[in-house]
Amino acid sequence: MTGSHVELSAQDGIYTLVLRRPEALNALSTAVCRDVAAALARVDQDPAARALILTGEGRAFCAGADLREREGATPEAIWAHNRAIFQIPLDLERLPVPTIAAINGLALGGGCEIALGCDLRWAAATAELGCPEVTRGILPGGGGTQRLPRLVGLSRAMMLILTGRRIGAQEAYRIGLVDAVVPPEELLPAVREVAGAIAANAPLAVRFAKQAMRYGVGHTLEEGLALEGELQRMLYATEDCREGIAAFRERRAPRWAGR
């Protein structure tokens, strides 16, 4: 699938979604948001999907909202643009398969918020991340004020959001904003290796594990444990569970059926 602003490809169940608007640092226009939404819907509908890698073309992962689109626009039109950006991290969180942001360069504003919506974040050593919205008279309205404190803690999130400053990949790693930092030329191979390790596991188990963790962070421990138990009980009845036990007993690699 190749749209005017994105490219979606798949190999062995691993999807790669590339934002392709390098001349604008992959800024999020309404049209880009629409193309991303369509690509994520396609992954969601594929039962063979195992993981999704999200990255950008050129020197940016995503520079955030396309502010040129907002020049002269009404508050209602700007709000509609904001809602289109806001939906992308939600769709990433709700996607049944794990998602990995391969942050190849600038990830600012809405671009940082999209990365926050992914399950894992790997960054090139040259990447920069930040939420500079307050320097433009707004706040991080793509979920940044809620996801960033949950990931790095309230005080660190306050520092980043209230100053609006950028941080480098190593500092982002130090505070827990990204999971790993690698040389730029190694970013996609490293992320594909992680995606491959995920894809090699039992697909239903991976999907259920993501569902349980995503649910748990927004609910009480008791509610999270209840869902975990329900999902585990469902997995015990699957063909893959029986195959996992048999493969362990027979000392061979499992052959997952996804059911």
Does the annotation mark 113 as catalytic? yes
Catalytic residue among 57, 93, 128, 133: 133
Whole-angstrom distance, CA of residue 82 vs CA of residue 89: 12
Tokens encoding 71:
């020049």
Phi-psi region at 234: left, alpha or beta (left = phi > 0; alpha = psi -120 to 50): alpha
| Residue 238 CB partners (closer than 8 Å, separation 6+) | 204, 259
Q: What is the CA radius of gyration of the chain?
A: 19
Whole-angstrom distance, CA of residue 188 vs CA of residue 176: 20
| Residue 243 CB partners (closer than 8 Å, separation 6+) | 202, 254, 255, 256, 257
Catalytic residue among 57, 93, 113, 128: 113
Say what the alpha-carbon torsion angle 199, 202, 204, 207 is, to the nearest 10 degrees.
Answer: -40
Does the annotation mark 133 as catalytic? yes
Q: Which residues are catalytic?
A: 113, 133
